């Protein structure tokens, strides 16, 4: 099976699928939109199923859009999908609750600058605090290492991504939630995940002029080839 994950220069919705791929050891190609389609995003956009990325291309034939669908698919082919229907439904609830953090958090960290960043950060903080409180409470009351059991699932990697990204918005937010800090530590300590996290493009100059450091070269975040 040939798998290609197509995205842009940003640390956002492809991150949990990437981490899950690395965790499962399933090989995939990680490609920018222009590397796969060979043209500017403005030309590609109307041709992609929901006019947005990420998409997963399977065997150069099937296109799967929506990051949650991609995560679910990776879990299934890795045999990690949760067989118990109630636990599976609870995992879906965690995943969707993590996904709801995308819109305020990810574009702000990846793109906002100056006063605009500060305004957005201050609006987002209470939203994050409330949802982090939910995650903290649910994780603590589960008594498990991760949200469902002793092994991480797609929902854990989705939550991890948003918690981790929040450190770029305001590193002090997460400090209010020691159980979530432990969760971040546990996920980051998995060898295959640590290897990915230590080698992924660093997101730098957040709030000033955000860039991804790709192979040592700073590239402005965005949908355009640089």
Ligand X SMILES: N[C@@H](CCC(=O)N[C@@H](CS)C(=O)NCC(=O)O)C(=O)O
Q: Looking at 3, 53, 148, 193, which residue binds ligand X (CB under 6 A)? A: 53
Residue with the two structure tokens 């118990």? 84
Distance CA(112)–CA(115), nearest Å, equals 9
Rounded to a whole number of angstroms, the minimum distance from the CB of residue 14 to ligand X is 8
By the rule CB under 6 A, 52 interacts with ligand X: yes
- Please classify residue 102 by burial: count the beta carbons closer than 10 Å to its beta carbon, then call 0-12 exposed, 13-18 middle and 19+ buried: middle
Contact predicate 19/157, CB 8 Å: yes
Instruction: Scan residues 65-94 and list those touching ligand X (CB under 6 A).
Output: 66-68
Rounded to a whole number of angstroms, the minimum distance from the CB of residue 126 to ligand X is 23
Rounded to a whole number of angstroms, the minimum distance from the CB of residue 65 to ligand X is 6
DSSP annotation of 79: T
CA–CA distances in Å: residue 206 to residues 104, 111, 139, 191, 197: 15, 8, 29, 27, 18
Rounded to a whole number of angstroms, the minimum distance from the CB of residue 181 to ligand X is 26
Rounded to a whole number of angstroms, the minimum distance from the CB of residue 102 to ligand X is 7
Q: Which stretch binds ligand X (CB under 6 A): 61-69, 124-132, 168-176, 206-214?
A: 61-69
* Closer residue to ligand X in complex, CB, 54/210: 54
Q: Looking at 5, 13, 98, 180, which residue binds ligand X (CB under 6 A)? A: 13
Residue with the two structure tokens 């006019």? 51
* Closer residue to ligand X in complex, CB, 136/161: 161
Segments of the chain assigned E as strands:
3-7, 29-32, 55-58, 62-65, 202-204, 211-214, 217-220
User: Residues in the site for ligand X, rule: CB under 6 A?
Assistant: 12-13, 45, 52-54, 66-68, 223
């Amino acid at each position: 099976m040939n798998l290609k994950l197509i995205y842009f220069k940003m640390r956002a919705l492809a991150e949990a699928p990437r981490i899950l791929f690395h965790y499962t050891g399933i090989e995939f190609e990680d490609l920018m939109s222009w590397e796969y389609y060979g043209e500017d995003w403005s030309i590609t956009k109307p041709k992609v199923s929901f006019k947005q990325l990420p998409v997963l291309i399977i065997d150069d034939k099937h296109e799967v859009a929506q990051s949650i669908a991609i995560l679910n698919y990776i879990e299934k082919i890795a045999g990690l999908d949760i067989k118990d229907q109630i636990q599976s439904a609870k995992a879906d609830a965690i995943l969707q609750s993590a996904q709801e953090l995308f819109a305020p958090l990810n574009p702000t960290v990846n793109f906002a600058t100056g006063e605009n960043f500060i305004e957005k950060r201050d609006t987002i903080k209470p939203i994050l605090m409330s949802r982090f409180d939910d995650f903290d409470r649910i994780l603590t009351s589960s008594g498990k290492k991760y949200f469902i059991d002793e092994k991480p699932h797609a929902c854990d990697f989705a939550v991890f991504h948003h918690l981790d990204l929040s450190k770029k918005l305001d590193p002090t937010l997460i400090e209010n939630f020691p159980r979530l800090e432990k969760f971040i530590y546990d996920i980051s300590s998995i060898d295959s995940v640590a290897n990915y996290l230590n080698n992924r493009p660093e997101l730098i100059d957040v709030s000033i002029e955000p860039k991804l450091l790709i192979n040592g070269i700073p590239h402005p975040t965005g949908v355009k080839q640089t």
